[in-house]
Structure 1
Amino acid sequence: MKNFSSVFNIALRQPELEFVDIKLNRDNPIFLDPRLIEYQRDPIAKKMHKRIEIFWAEVFKAIRAKDLKRTHALLEGMKEPRETRLGYASGIQGNNVGEVLKDEIITALQNSFAIKTGILSHFGDVELFIDQIGIDRISDITTKIIKDVLIEFTQDQCSIFSSHIKLHKIKQRDIFDYKTLKWLDKEVLLPVFDGIPIILVPKTLVRLGGQSRGNFQCFYRFATRYFIEKEPEMLKDISPSGKDGKLILRDVRAYYPPSKDSLARWCAFNSNLLIDFKSDKLNGRIHILSDDEIMDVVYGNLMKDAG
């Protein structure tokens, strides 16, 4: 297996490294998580979070103003980020944020009730409200917005092992400048493998694929229980099937099948719903991956063979 550490002769394994020790010749189904970026307090995460907040504030503003030209300009840089090797970026089956999908994503954002009403104000919450943007696209979009910070992180990590890693002058397209709100092309120094530049990602800012769907399902269950207990008038049109005419979760699920649009409309009905969910449930679900969890992905069969 050609991991970054083995290709560049770094005599360390994942627990001793600050970055994800990616396989360079295969996909790594690990994803950058904007929530983890928001929750971290180190300088790198703060720089990343600043860029994400500025970028999406502009996008949401353009969408609410129905400024299609501005929306397209802001999303112009959303092309497939192959350099990190995270998610499905280098494979043929990934749902990347490529040119083909950009119009689809813009349409989804423009039609989003959560954006129109201001319920969705943080990009980390997009997985709860918009169907067409899943964890792989969230990771891709996040990568593009914070690309300049990731490049700096990569250069810093390579300087630690400078005797092993040669950096090449590479032209990188679509680097977001949060000061001018434009996408720029720059020449930067990066390591290269098989002709493709490498950008490293801090291991404290990634998650596995199943968590996004789990967060949505958790929010849906939280919302249905919330309304049954605190806002029964919201569910007054639903026929109860429980004992003694009691409304149960199954009744709500049958009337309101799990839907991100329904969640958005419920949040509009009760502005505390999303706030309470985050404080009561979601915050406890957010955790940094352990080295073992990352190693299961990036080392795979090597770990099995060693065992």
Structure 2
Amino acid sequence: MRVSQYYNLDRTQASLDFLDVDIYNDIKLYIDPYAFEIIPSEFSDRCKYYIQNYFDTLLNYIRIGDNSSAQAILLELREPNETHLGVSQEASKGRGLGPFLASKVLSSLQQSEAVQTGLLQSLEESALLIRGVGYDIISDIVTNIIRAELILYTQCMAEHYNIPMEDNVASGPMWNPETKRWYTNLVRLPKTDRGPLLLVPKAIVRKKTNYDIDEYYNHYVLDFLRSQEFRANSGLIEILKNGKERITKKSLEAKYGTEKKEVSIRETLRHPEILETYRETKADKVSSPLDHEELAIIENSTMPDLQKLFENLQKIPKGKKDADAYEKVIEQLISAIFYPDLMYPKLQHNIHDGRKRIDIKYTNIAQKGFFYWLALNYPASHIYIECKNYSLELKNPEFDQLSGRFSPSRGKFGLLVCRNITDKELAIQRCIDTAKDDRGYILILEDNDFEELVDIRQSLDYNNKMFSFFQRKFEKLVM
């Protein structure tokens, strides 16, 4: 049973910001620490700080020989059952460290030349250079380190989707980067009949972490060794009938060994440039969030029905009486259509100490497409949505209301969403006036625009088509 079913949310994964996990079993997905490197958000910045602070603290203890302190901050890591991520075949029960495995990891770190020499620089590199550490363990470690942030995220999402929470729930260990110690607290969290629930943004999970030992070994370590053998004109070179030369993986493994982690560790210590090349490649190679289709396959769930969401929009009567229902359907449509570009929706978001309110706010995490281009060229860290459930002419107050929410730090781009406009040219001119007065950039989306966006999202080339759709509208503001 998924979270959406357990709490009767009447939503599918497509319109949920969090991963709609099975509350009884684990789903084979993992939190990738590298995801925070490519997601421009305050949430990501805080998570990166927590992770690097913990990892630097751990390595420093090991390098100075303070083994008791190192063991203390490792032993506090526990099985993060609350997220329901990982590889358990039975009911979710965790695959985390625990005392025995924590001792093994500590022993591997203590014996690692990569730690002592400073070659190991980040937690994700442990999957390449530390014995006994794979991406499942890294995911569990990360979950523990950022638990405080996941609790805050869960609380926000529970309020957003009306998921009930309970008081005085044991938080589990949370990392304090100031004291460099673990602490616990009683917090407010959702609880199922299987225990506390931690919601995880679907934008930060992957089928495996970005730093992958199979990829590193096969395409970097072995390729480096192959190049060395060619330069040495070694006996591993075979001459094919067509005169071409080759060195097989089998012959390399016969000489260097078949244990990929051991070979990778040994050769990386001898030739640190292998790891440096891998780092550079990873810095340029963005690991994108899983799309709707991938999530549906992994979760064994249905594909998103965007057409049904649009039909739900059409069923809502126009007028202030149904403004709340309209706003909620718009949020579902935008969340589904613009994933993974926009995340962390907040309905009725307050600013200026509550003196002003924004109908919907999103964090812009786009790595390609229109919203990515927008953030590169204009203040657009957040995208603001104002919803008007009527067909009357949009007048200056509606535009001033939205532009009044803009700021250089929060973002200066928003969508004014309404049913349909009588005088489109006048409405567009009001958007142009707002832009020319340096009060921000507003685009209007009507019902027929959402119908087109649904069709675009369901097309094979939706990224380019989506860019063209918004670029046509945006160019009118800046011409």
Shared fold (TM-score, shorter chain, > 0.5): yes
**For structure 1, which segment, 166-175 or 58-67, has the greater mean C-alpha deviation from structure 2 after superposition?**
166-175
Structure-to-structure mapping, 1:45-124, within 5 angstroms: 45-88=44-87, 91=91, 95-124=95-124
C-alpha contact (below 8 Å) 2:86/2:95 kept by paired residues: no
C-alpha contact (below 8 Å) 2:26/2:92 kept by paired residues: no
- List gaps (5 residues or longer) in structure 2: 306-479
Gap change, CA 1:189 and 1:95, over 3 Å in 2: closer
Q: Could you give the per-residue CA deviations for residues 121-165 of structure 1, whole angstroms, max 9, x where no partner exists?
A: 100111111231112211111100000000000001111123x42
Q: 2:44 aligns to what SS in structure 1?
A: helix
Matched, 1:226 2:227: no
Matched, 1:267 2:268: yes
- CA shift, 1:285, in A, is 6.8
Q: Could you give the per-residue CA deviations for residues 13-47 of structure 1, whole angstroms, max 9, x where no partner exists?
A: 11111110111111111111112123322111111
TM (norm. structure 1) is 0.86
Gap change, CA 1:239 and 1:227, over 3 Å in 2: same
Please point out which of 205, 213, 219 is paired with 1:216. 213
Distance 1:228 1:259 in 2: 15
Distance 1:145 1:109 in 2: 18
Distance 1:55 1:5 in 2: 33
Matched, 1:207 2:244: no
Q: 2:124 aligns to what SS in structure 1?
A: helix
Q: 1:267 aligns to what SS in structure 2?
A: helix
Q: Could you give the per-residue CA deviations for residues 238-258 of structure 1, whole angstroms, max 9, x where no partner exists?
A: 632412896724332221134
- Whichever residue aligns with residue 84 of structure 2, its letter is R
Q: 2:185 aligns to what SS in structure 1?
A: strand
Q: Could you give the per-residue CA deviations for residues 146-188 of structure 1, whole angstroms, max 9, x where no partner exists?
A: 00000000001111123x4233321223111111111111011
- CA shift, 1:52, in A, is 0.4
The structure with the largest strand share of the pair is 2
C-alpha contact (below 8 Å) 1:168/1:192 kept by paired residues: no
Asked which structure has the greater RCO (Cα within 8 Å, sep 6+), the reply is 1
The structure with the largest helix share of the pair is 1
C-alpha contact (below 8 Å) 1:114/1:129 kept by paired residues: yes
Task: Specify the alignment match of 1:297 in structure 2.
Answer: 298
* Larger Rg over CA atoms: 2
- CA shift, 1:95, in A, is 3.6
C-alpha contact (below 8 Å) 1:117/1:268 kept by paired residues: no
Structure-to-structure mapping, 1:251-266, within 5 angstroms: 251-256=251-256, 257-266=258-267
Runs of 4 or more above 6 Å deviation: none
Please point out which of 231, 236, 240 is paired with 1:240. 236
Task: Specify the alignment match of 1:5 in structure 2.
Answer: 4
Distance 1:66 1:238 in 2: 43
Task: Specify the alignment match of 1:20 in structure 2.
Answer: 19
Matched, 1:143 2:140: no
Distance 1:30 1:224 in 2: 28
C-alpha contact (below 8 Å) 2:52/2:122 kept by paired residues: yes
- List gaps (5 residues or longer) in structure 1: none
Gap change, CA 1:247 and 1:134, over 3 Å in 2: same
Q: 1:183 aligns to what SS in structure 2?
A: strand
Distance 1:280 1:289 in 2: 20
Task: Specify the alignment match of 2:36 in structure 1.
Answer: 37
Task: Specify the alignment match of 1:155 in structure 2.
Answer: 155
| Alignment RMSD (CA, Å) | 2.8
